[in-house]
Amino acid sequence: MTSISRTLVVWLAVPLTLLALAGALVHYFNSVAPQVLSVDRRLKDAAAAYSAAPVPRPAPAGGLRYALREPDGRVLAGDPALPAGLRDAAEKPVYVNALEGGHNWRIYSTGVGAPDGPLVLSVAADLGTTEAARYGFLSTLLWDFAQLDVTLVLVWIGIQLGLRPVRRLRDEIAERSPEDLRPIVESSVPREIAPLAATLNRLFRLLASSARSQQQFIANTAHQLRTPLTGMLAQLDLLIGDPAALPVRERLAQLQASVRQLAHSANQLLALARADPAANLAAKRDTVNLADIAAEVTARCVDRALQADIDLGAELSAATLRADPSLLDDLISNLVDNALNYTPAGGSVTVSSGYAEGHAYVSVEDTGPGIAPADRARVRRRFVRLPNAPGHGSGLGLAIVEEIAALYDGKLSIDAGRDQRGSKMTVIFPPAAAD
């Protein structure tokens, strides 16, 4: 992942390093060049004086070394250890540098007239030790790089201070829950990232509008489906009880069962749609008591349990959450519905709620056939029903439970009941979801 701070420092470090190196070189040449120019004038004057002097010519004074050579390099006078000048110096004066004994010598070579032909005169001056020059260059370079390091540290600090508003915006968005679509206060962000905040606010408004539209569509669909299906079931109940319908009562009973199954499937599909995270971005989060909702669901199912000869009971303790009460009603209703479907006559279903180790939970335990450990992962998927499942369910019950639990970071666990009989479905919610 690319870092803005690192990128800025790298882009600054490279040119600043090159500038520091160039500055050290310029400083070095600025300190050496005047000395070299002064020595060059001195060597040239000494060579001119030597050339104009009468024979025998005196050696140049002032600590200068000299050598008079024939064009082939044979020394006629002076210091034979002085490095030789270039062969073409007889035609054109040249300056060269030579290193000898740790000293840097500046040598001026030029042609000198003689009766037997031109000779080459070389005059040399000591520029000093190479260590001194190298020390001066390295000390300048070291100081420049020390300044560069301090500059980069100050730049890094400045970048970090400048990016604090960006980090605050990042932390503010990261701390929000997926359902928190409040707009960002654009006046609290720097001008440079105000367009980003405005874009995020437009996105939040779009998501909230989309979630509201989806919720409205689900509500309208539920109304349009449930109303005619409820009316159809009521008419079928009346028709089956009519003596005139006796010849076709069996067919009407089959039709009634099919319509009931259709109504159940429609309700489950609508519950699954309502549990979709996209439809709950703008959902309300009220403080609700799991015990109250579980008690309502249990009361609604008492008649059904009595008709099936099932002992339906509740062991409820208060457990509060911040959630949509209608979604929690769907969650518990599907757990109880599954338990009643699979529990045979004479069995029992127990609904419980409360806290366990600081976690709110709701649990439904039955004495049905149970679910084998190998099938517990498979039954969570949509439209999956076990081969021995009674009735004509749609296989959406546990999928709905898991979808709703996930909205509040809850977790569905499937275990065996007491004495390894039946099943125990438990949904545990994290402490963060508690009120």
Distance CA 183, CA 132 (A): 67
Mark which of 282, 306, 325 sits at the end of a domain.
282
**For residue 166, is it within any domain?**
no
Residue 426: pLDDT band (50, 70, 90) is very high
Domain count, the chain: 3
Which one has a higher pLDDT value, 265 or 90?
Answer: 265
CA diameter of the chain: 158
Residue whose entry in the numeric block shows the structure tokens 């520091």: 20
- Give dist(CA 401, CA 80) in Å, integer: 105
Regarding whether 355 and 323 lie in a shared domain, the answer is: yes
Q: Is the pLDDT of residue 269 over 70?
A: yes
Question: Would you say residue 160 lies in a domain?
Answer: no
What is the 3-state composition of the chain as percent helix, strand, coil, each rounded to the nearest 5? 55, 20, 25
User: Is there a domain that residue 57 lies in?
Assistant: yes
Residue 70, domain extent: 4-155
Whether residues 194 and 333 share a domain: the answer is: no
Domain CATH for 106: 3.30.450
Q: Are residues 317 and 374 in the same domain?
A: yes
Same-domain check for residues 291 and 433: yes
Same domain for 11 and 76, yes or no, is yes
pLDDT at res. 223: 65
Per the confidence metrics, is the pTM higher than 0.75? no
Among 257, 252, 255, 231, smallest CA distance to 241 is for 252
**Same domain flag for 184 and 139:** no
Judged by DSSP in three states, 351 sits in strand
Q: What is the DSSP letter of 182?
A: P
Residues contacting 331, CB < 8 A, separation 6+: 362, 400, 401, 404, 405, 427
Residues 107 and 182 in one domain: no
User: CATH number of the domain that 343 lies in?
Assistant: 3.30.565.10
> Is pLDDT at 429 greater than 90 in this prediction?
yes
Report CA-CA distances (Å) from 331 to 211, 277, 319: 21, 15, 15
Q: Flag whether 204 is in a domain.
A: yes
User: What is the residue whose two structure tokens read 């709950």?
Assistant: 280
- Summarised one tens digit per residue, pLDDT across range 168-214 is 888 888 887 767 778 888 887 888 888 888 888 898 888 877 777 77
Cβ neighbours of residue 409 under 8 Å, at least 6 residues apart?
429, 430, 432, 433
pLDDT, greater one: 277 or 81:
81
Q: Which residue has the tokens 């008649």?
A: 303
Whether residues 12 and 105 share a domain: the answer is yes
Within a domain: residue 164? no
| Shared-domain flag, residues 231 and 315 | no
Is 89 in the same domain as 150?
A: yes
Considering the domain boundaries, does residue 168 fall inside one? Answer: no
